[in-house]
Amino acid sequence: LDATAPTLIAVAEDADAGHLPAEAVLRLPRAAAGPGLDLGALLAALHGRGVRSVLLEGGPVLAGAFVAAGLVDKVVGYLAPVLLGAGPAALADAGIHTLAEALRLDVTETVRIGPDLRVTAVPGPARKEN
């Protein structure tokens, strides 16, 4: 929220945004199914503003919505040699309910960063049913 880049706050077309700076508000239609905004409209609006890359860092619900919509073209994950036990899921409902429906990824890069490992992958071709 500093001046290094414009800040956009995406809200539904019918949302009360009077408390937000008008120049930061990006009004979008709601998703046709489920909660949230129309992600295709969001990406189209960002593209119209010259944005060509979007980093999703909003948590499992946002990530799950983009995966379910087929709008993820790269996944970057970090593996640390630490066991924490139970924790939050990486994806909320992404429309994947069985192993056969899983989004298969092809690893394109692995980089060691200190004791951690960064893995970059892209969605692979869909598997054909037997």
Question: Which domains, from first to last, does the chain contain?
Answer: 1-54 (no CATH), 56-130 (3.40.430.10)
Q: What are the tokens at 63?
A: 């990530």
Please report the pLDDT score of residue 47 as a whole number: 95
For residues 31 and 35, give the distance between their C-alpha atoms in angstroms, rounded to a whole number.
6
38-91 pLDDT, tens digit per residue, is: 999 999 999 999 989 888 877 888 888 898 888 999 999 999 999 888 777 778
Which of residues 1 and 29 earns the better pLDDT score? 29
84-123 pLDDT, tens digit per residue, is: 887 777 788 777 888 888 889 999 999 999 999 999 999 9
At 130, the pLDDT band (50, 70, 90 cuts) reads very low
Please report the pLDDT score of residue 127 as a whole number: 53
Transcribe 50-109 into DSSP letters: T-------S-HHHHHHHHHTT----EEEEE-S----S---S-S--S--SGGG---EEEEE
Taking all residues of the chain, what is their mean pLDDT, rounded to a whole number?
Answer: 87
At 126, the pLDDT band (50, 70, 90 cuts) reads low
Tell me the whole-structure pTM to 2 decimals. 0.77
Q: What are the tokens at 41?
A: 């409209």
* Contact present, 43 and 54 (Cβ < 8 Å): yes
Res 32 pLDDT > 70: yes
What is the end-to-end Cα distance of the chain in Å, rounded?
50
For residues 95 and 107, give the distance between their C-alpha atoms in angstroms, rounded to a whole number.
22
